[in-house]
Amino acid sequence: MTSELDRTLNRILEWIREEAASPEIVIEADTNLLAGELLDSMGFIQLISFIEDEFDVCLDSGLLIPANFETPGRIAGLVRRHAAAGNEGGVPS
């Protein structure tokens, strides 16, 4: 499970570094994505689409709150919780 979490985190970090963040900004698992205004609303919507496609999860609107997206680590945790729920047939939609 831990390695799955690591893989998820790495893919998310890769995406943010590549697609969203300005090149001069260092992004790590605990970088606050919201305080530094790294993402804008368009980047955020793209991030959600990326997560849903890449990890085959469906993130319910109720999950799209600042607390769940503060850091790449938190996002990875959210994805794993919901991917696991999905395997048991309990994905919120």
What's the min distance (Å) between Cβ of 35 and other proteins? 8
DSSP states along 16-80: IIIIIS-TTS---TT--TTTTT-S-HHHHHHHHHHHHHHHT----GGG-SGGGGSSHHHHHHHHH
Rounded CA-CA distance 48/43 in Å is 9
Residue 26 binds to other proteins (criterion: CB under 8 A): no
Q: Which is nearer to other proteins, 45 or 85 (CB)?
A: 45
Among 3, 62, 90, 93, binds other proteins (CB under 8 A): 62
Under the criterion CB under 8 A, does residue 45 sit at the interface with other proteins?
A: yes
Binding site for other proteins (CB under 8 A): 18-24, 34, 36-45, 48, 61-62, 64-66, 69
